[in-house]
Amino acid sequence: MTVLAHNFSVQVHTFGKPEAAPFLMLHGFLGSGEDWSALAETLSSDCFCIAPDIPGHGATQPQSAFAEYTMENVARVIIACLDALTSQKAILCGYSMGARLALYLALSYPDRFQSVCILSGTAGLRTEEERLARRKHDETLAVRLDTEPFSEFLTFWYNQALFASFRSHPTFSQIVSKRSSASPHEAAKSLRGMGTGSQPNLWGELPQNTLPITFAAGEFDAKFVALARELHDFTPHSRLLCIPGAGHVLHHEARETVIRELKTLHS
């Protein structure tokens, strides 16, 4: 279905019956709500799964030249989508870029959620120097998205060490093939607006958290295991989950474990 919200026409993938307990699922960079299909179909027997295409991705399109791709505005867009589909408090799950957005939502709209699962996420960068350096890096990537053949960018992107274990996963080629239909120019706007260098620094807000939050990372993803531990240390009402046999792309590499975790949040 399509939801109009804050200058975006948002494509929302839904699974299950609207009266069931809602799960809001947020995908990673270059992905779409369809990335959650396998998990959502399993959970939809007794849950209502809501998986929007985050602005800059999938079939979601700006409806105005004034559409903002910032974390703050994208969060408003996602909340508007959630409100359009259910009045119940949702269980929130996000991966990578979607995990950063999910953490922002949990801290900014805690009354809208009952529990949260952060997969391979971070609370942003702490210093302006770090954020400036990352914005320069993100801008370089955005320029590549705007100028070079998208197939070359996808090859570069998934050749990063971050995706080493995912490259050997049986679904890797199929998933990357689906990415080829994305809009590189929209992805560039997302990167400029809500990349790690542009997002708010949330570390100072973590001690005020009131929601049950699980910070999960795959054992092969050393950077994000360390981040998950640090996030857990800073965040009350949180737990740490290090998933064996998986890397960064947890919802594909460790699908059954993630499904069990989400079912636990539901129960």
Q: In the prediction, which pLDDT does 267 show?
A: 60
Residues 6+ apart with CB under 8 A from 71: 100, 101, 104, 193, 194, 198, 199, 200
For residues 163 and 92, the answer to whether their CB atoms sit within 8 Å is no
Q: Per-domain residue ranges for the chain?
A: 2-126+199-266
| Domain boundaries 2-126+199-266, CATH class | alpha beta
Dist. CA 159–CA 141, nearest whole Å: 14
Residue with tokens 């989400």: 262
What are 169-180's pLDDT values in tens digits?
999 999 999 999
Q: In the prediction, which pLDDT does 115 show?
A: 97
Residue 121 carries which DSSP code?
A: -
pTM: 0.97
Confidence of residue 15 (pLDDT cuts 50, 70, 90): very high
Dist. CA 37–CA 146, nearest whole Å: 29
Dist. CA 183–CA 71, nearest whole Å: 19
What are 20-69's pLDDT values in tens digits?
999 999 999 999 999 999 999 999 999 999 999 999 999 999 999 999 99
Q: Could you tell me what percent of the chain has a pLDDT over 90? A: 98
In SS3 terms, 191-217 reads as HHHHCCCCCCCCHHHHHHCCCCEEEEE
Dist. CA 37–CA 86, nearest whole Å: 20
Q: Could you tell me what percent of the chain has a pLDDT over 70? A: 100
Q: In the prediction, which pLDDT does 162 show?
A: 95
Strands 8-15 and 61-62: antiparallel
Q: Is residue 219 over pLDDT 70?
A: yes
